[in-house]
C-alpha cells in the first residue's frame, strides 16, 4: 500500500460556482483539472462541506486524468438551506426506530448530485462518496445506472441496521448541543474528531482546529445536520438493490472506524457483484493525508476497469 502523497500537481482550479438543481436548492461547487478529462464527482458526508475533499487529493485525482467536481450538499457550506425545522426529539425517536418524517431523503440528495451533472452537461461520471456521501452514490448507481461509470464507496454502509453501526460512545457527542459561536464549534469538532479520526494516522491539534475553523467560516447549520441525520436514519436497506449494480465498484473502509463499523463496508462489497474491498489498518472515519495516494490509485484503478469495458 502506498502511504505518502507526492508533490501536489499543478492543475486548473475553478472559482466556487453555483448550480440550481431543484426547486429552492442551489449547490455550490468547484472543479479541478481539464473538462475534457473523465468526469469524477466527489460527494461528502454528514455536515461536511466540499472543502473536506482536500485540495491536494483533488489535484492528485486531476493529475490522474479526471475532471474533478466537488460540491457542498444541501444544508452544508455555501449551498442552500432547507427551511423545515426538526426537533432533537424527532432525531432521538428516529435513532430508536420510531416513526418520523424527514424533510428530505437520500433519494433527494442523489437527485441533487444528478442535477449538478445535468448543470455541467455531463451524461455520466465516475462517482465517489464518503460516509453519507457513500450512501448517496450507492443510491445514484441504483436509481440511474446509465449515468454512473464507476462507483467508489468509502467508509459507508448499505442502510441495513445490523451492519455499519456507530460505536455507542459516539451518541452523546453527536446529539450534544455544540453551543454558539466559532470557538464553541471548533472545540466541539476537535473533541469529535479525536473520537472518530484515524488512530494509525493521527492529525495534530492544529490541523483539526484549522479544518474546523474553515468549516465554520464557510457556513455551518446545526439544523441542517439534524435534517441530514434524519435522511440517513430513514434510509432503506439497499443491499438487495445493490445486487443490480454492474459498474466497476471499489469499497474502502478503515478497520478502526467508530462512526460506521467496518461491517458496513464488508456488506456493501458483498452486495455489489465483482466489487473490490480495500480494508485499511489504522484508518478511522476520516481521510488522512498519508493515504491520499492510496485513495487516488484505487479510484483510478476502478475507473480503468470501466474504461476497459468500453
What are the DSSP calls for 43-112, one per residue? E--TT--GGGS-HHHHHHHHHTTEEEEEEPPTTSTTSPPP-----HHHHHHHHTT-----SS-HHHHHHH
Catalytic residue among 79, 124, 131, 156: 131
In the three-class reduction of DSSP (H, G, I as helix; E, B as strand; rest coil), residue 25 is classed as strand
107 part of the active site: no
**Mean pLDDT on 66-74:** 98
Res 5 pLDDT > 60: no
pLDDT grade for 309, boundaries at 50, 70 and 90: confident
**Mean pLDDT on 275-303:** 98
The angle at the Cα of 132, spanning 219 to 119, to the nearest 5 degrees, equals: 70
Q: How far apart are CA 203 and CA 65, in angstroms?
A: 29
Q: Which three cell numbers stand for residue 199?
A: 488512530
Q: How far apart are CA 4 and CA 91, in angstroms?
A: 40
Exposure b/e, 156-167, CB count within 10 A at least 16 = b: bbbbbeebbebe
244 part of the active site: no
Catalytic residue among 126, 253, 261, 285: 285
Average pLDDT value over all residues in the chain = 92
By the 8 A CB rule, do 70 and 305 touch? no
Catalytic residue among 54, 72, 112, 257: 257
Closest to 292 in 3D by CA, of 46, 53, 66, 71 = 53
Q: How far apart are CA 304 and CA 310, in angstroms?
A: 10
Res 113 pLDDT > 80: yes
Res 227 pLDDT > 80: yes
**Mean pLDDT on 290-309:** 96
Return the bridge partners of 250, or none. 152, 276
Tell me the HSE value of 268 on the side-chain side, using a 13 A CA sphere. 34
pLDDT grade for 4, boundaries at 50, 70 and 90: very low
Cα separations in angstroms, 98 against 78, 91, 107, 269: 32, 9, 20, 29
285 part of the active site: yes
Give tens-digit pLDDT for 7-34: 567 899 999 999 999 999 999 999 999 9
User: What dihedral do alpha carbons 5, 186, 164, 297 form, nearest 10°?
Assistant: -10
Closest to 188 in 3D by CA, of 218, 224, 223, 213 = 213
User: pTM score, two decimals?
Assistant: 0.94
Share of the chain above pLDDT 90, in %: 78
Q: How far apart are CA 21 and CA 133, in angstroms?
A: 17
Closest to 239 in 3D by CA, of 263, 270, 278 = 270
Amino acid at each position: 500500500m502506498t502511504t505518502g502523497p507526492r508533490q501536489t500537481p499543478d492543475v486548473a482550479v475553478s472559482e466556487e460556482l453555483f448550480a440550481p438543481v431543484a426547486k429552492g436548492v442551489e449547490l455550490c461547487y468547484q472543479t479541478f483539472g481539464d473538462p475534457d478529462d473523465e468526469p469524477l464527482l466527489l460527494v461528502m458526508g454528514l455536515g461536511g462541506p466540499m472543502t473536506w475533499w482536500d485540495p491536494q487529493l483533488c489535484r492528485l485525482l486531476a493529475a490522474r486524468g479526471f475532471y474533478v467536481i466537488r460540491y457542498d450538499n444541501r444544508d452544508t457550506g455555501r449551498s442552500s438551506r432547507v427551511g423545515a425545522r426538526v426537533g432533537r426529539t424527532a432525531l432521538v425517536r428516529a435513532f430508536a426506530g420510531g416513526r418520523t418524517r424527514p424533510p428530505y431523503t437520500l433519494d433527494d440528495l442523489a437527485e441533487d448530485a444528478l442535477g449538478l451533472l445535468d448543470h455541467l452537461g455531463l451524461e455520466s461520471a465516475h462517482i465517489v462518496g464518503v460516509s453519507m456521501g457513500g450512501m448517496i452514490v450507492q443510491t445514484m448507481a441504483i436509481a440511474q445506472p446509465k449515468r454512473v461509470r464507476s462507483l467508489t464507496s468509502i467508509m459507508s454502509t448499505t442502510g441495513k441496521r445490523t451492519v455499519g453501526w456507530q460505536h455507542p460512545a459516539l451518541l452523546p457527542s453527536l446529539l450534544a448541543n455544540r453551543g454558539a459561536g466559532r470557538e464553541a464549534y471548533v472545540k466541539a469538532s476537535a473533541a469529535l474528531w479525536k473520537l472518530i479520526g484515524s488512530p494509525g494516522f493521527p492529525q495534530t491539534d492544529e490541523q483539526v482546529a484549522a479544518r474546523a475553523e474553515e468549516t465554520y467560516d464557510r457556513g455551518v447549520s446545526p439544523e441542517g445536520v439534524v435534517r441530514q441525520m434524519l435522511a440517513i436514519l430513514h434510509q432503506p436497506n439497499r443491499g438487495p438493490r445493490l445486487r443490480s449494480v454492474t459498474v466497476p465498484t471499489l469499497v474502502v473502509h478503515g478497520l478502526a472506524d467508530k462512526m460506521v463499523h467496518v461491517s458496513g463496508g464488508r456488506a456493501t462489497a458483498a452486495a455489489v457483484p465483482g466489487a473490490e474491498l480495500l480494508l485499511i489498518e489504522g484508518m478511522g472515519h476520516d481521510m488522512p493525508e498519508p493515504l491520499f495516494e492510496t485513495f487516488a490509485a484505487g479510484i483510478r484503478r476502478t475507473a480503468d476497469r470501466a474504461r476497459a469495458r468500453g
